[in-house]
Amino acid sequence: MAMRLSHPLRPSSLPQFQFRPKSLSTCKFSIQNRISNSDNSRKLVMEVKEKLEKDQHSLPVGRNGRDDEDMILWFLKDRKFSVEDAVAKLTKAIKWRQEFGVSKLHEESVRIVAGTGKAYVHDFLDVNDRPVLIVVASKHFPAFDVFYYYYPRRLGQVLFVEAPFVFKPIWQLVKPLARFCSMETVRKEYFTEETFPASFRD
């Protein structure tokens, strides 16, 4: 995620939101989170499943549910393989998904939100082959809790580009992920000249 905080962006400088399945097929990005052959990892995943079944049996099952082993593994990794902590955080995440209606999101609802220009997915990966979400903070300051609590280990880094000093104390809590940097740093370290976001060009 990259955020530009110093100047509001003109709507005309934002790319139009389009679904481009063809271009996505050439993207090298993929999430791999399969349970390793490690007996210990498997054992911990099963422990979490059993605890959730016993203590949170009303939670849904299936994909992104309390018995989704890939999802359980994400939360175990995020909580440094603490079963208790993973159960607590995963329970909260599944309940949020239900309340927020994540499973009911569809292409049209995403298109409407994207049309506001508050955020968009950049057409290119960064230099580390990671997808880039551009959030225009002057239009919408994102709730970081969504990434931290409900999508652990999915966010590589948050860049505050040319950010006012006032933002720094707020983001000290997520120091490992947050970095305050100049436009020049973003240009040199995160993108090539061809992949540099158009909305960041002056």
Which DSSP string do the residues of 13-60 spell out, in sequence order? GSPPP---HHHHTT-------PPPS-HHHHHHHHHHHHHHHHH-TTS-
Q: Answer whether residue 28 is part of any domain.
A: no
Q: Are 87 and 48 in contact (CB under 8 A)?
A: yes
Cα atoms in the 13 Å half-sphere on the side-chain side of 158? 26
Q: pLDDT: is 45 or 16 the higher one?
A: 45
**Shared-domain flag, residues 159 and 181:** yes
Q: pLDDT: is 121 or 148 the higher one?
A: 121
pLDDT at residue 23 tops 60: no
Cα-Cα-Cα-Cα torsion 83, 172, 7, 15, nearest 10 degrees, comes to -20
pTM value is 0.53
**Shared-domain flag, residues 196 and 121:** yes
Would you call 138 helix, strand, or coil by DSSP? Answer: coil
Q: Answer whether residue 34 is part of any domain.
A: no
Q: pLDDT: is 143 or 5 the higher one?
A: 143
Q: What is the pLDDT of residues 119-133, one digit of tens each?
A: 778 888 888 888 887
pLDDT at residue 169 tops 70: no
Specify the pLDDT at position 176.
59
Specify the pLDDT at position 52.
96
Domain region containing 171: 2-15+116-200
- Average pLDDT value for residue range 127-152: 68
Q: pLDDT: is 177 or 83 the higher one?
A: 83
Q: Mean pLDDT of all residues in the chain?
A: 73
